[in-house]
Structure 1
Amino acid sequence: MAVGVPEKEVFTAADAVLARGERPTVERMCLELGRESPARVGRLLDIWWARLAERLSGETRLPALPSEVSQAFIAVWQQAIHLAQGVAELGLEEQRQVLDAERERLAQIEDRAHQDLAKGRQQVSEAMAGRQAAESRLADLNLLLVQRQAQIEELQQQRDVLRRERHDAQGQNQILQQELHSLRLKAEQERMAQENYLRGVEDRAHREVDRAQEKGRAALSLSKVANRRCDDLRRRLESAQNELSRAEQRAAAQLARAETLEQQLIQIRQLPEIKRKPRVRKKTTSSNPKN
């Protein structure tokens, strides 16, 4: 029942319940009114009981009767009022107890409602905190996913670069093998040419020495010329020996370069696939010495 229900409706309902021979109670009044407001009905019912006692104690409502009858009727009426007041007091006490119980029940319901509301608010707060944490975690995961995707793309690019570098290294390896083979052949040819050249120089020197000795023995008068020729031949022999030494040094340098290229080739073969291709500088071969 609404809080502002008119008290006239309550009093009328109480009179109707009493007219049916029933004692007005809060439950019966709520049923009679078709509404629910035990607290206000209880307060208005207390006022109705007090006014009922006043109405019952009024003598002006009695009809004109003989004095003896009036006195007897008043005595009976007062006794009835006294009994009715006792009954009303009992009813009021019961109503008070009902109202107290109802107030206690309502207080408990209100306390439970407050507790449920506080619990609900706490749950809502926890849910909002959990949602914020989940959204933050989701954002972190999305960022991590983007970073992982970028890393994967970068690794794929590095893999492609390494594959190309590996292909280039294999091609460079074949080129180095061909260059090494060519250098070995050229070094071998130069060595043989140097040996042939040295043998020719030695043979010519020996022939010149032999010829000079024969001329010296044949003509003593030409000894000075022979001696000078021998000295010249010795110088030429020393020059030939020096040239032979230089040729041997060049051959040794060619062999050292060939061994260096062979070591580079071995290192290239031993490189893992993730290494970058080595930068190889082409070796220029020296020209063959002129005879």
Structure 2
Amino acid sequence: MARGITQEQVNRAADALLTAGENPTVEKIRAALGTGSPNTVTRMLDTWRVNLGERLHRLQSLPGIPADVGQAMAELWRVAVEHADLLLQARLSDDRAALTAAEARLADERTRWAATLAEAEMAVAQAQARRELVEHACATLDGQLRDSHALRDDVLQQRDRVQAITDQQRAEIEALRAEQALLGTAMRIEREQHTAHMRDAENRAHQEVDRARQETKLLPGRAAALEAALSQQKVVKASSKASKAKSPARPKATERRKK
């Protein structure tokens, strides 16, 4: 039985793979943890990718980060965004294939139910024809054998049996129609829900990709600003050291004036 996993475990495994120069995937995360269902790992890996941009942004905002390090982090995030986009396209392709298969199954079910309904209607028509024949025979026998009550009763019993069969078949047809309607409604609802889920997932993924691209565009500018701030700090420190070096010479000049 698979053990439960946490978001923190998935984050550590993904960070370790990224540090080792590997692309974190669902299969590699499951191999590293030794457990976890694909759906759970996929969801947590998406959360890790969403938080990775914020973590890189906070890391790049720290003082003392060289420009080449900032560029490397920006490139890393760009690669992660491209990989996430590829995973999204693959997932959407799988969802479309599943929807197509579901529609094909629905079409097959409709065809099967239509054939069953046609067979049942044919059986009802045949039973109705038999009933009409029996009723005609009853009328003929009733006219010819008015005094033969025993024979007349037997014919009436046959008619009742045929009527019972007809009623039963009519009830079965109604049940088949009701079941077909329920099946069509259930399949339509399932298809609509699946389509809505796929549309929501696509919209969320596009929003995340757009936000990641915007953050990637801002990284070079922030790295340049950080480098300028570091240069300014170096100038201030150099000026401060020069001022301290000049300050001890003033008392000696005063002593020479007194002598």
The structure with the largest helix share of the pair is 2
> Which gives a bigger RCO, structure 1 or 2 (Cα 8 Å, sep 6+)?
2
Computing the radius of gyration from Cα coordinates, the structure with the larger value is: 1
TM-score by length of 2: 0.44
TM-score by length of 1: 0.39
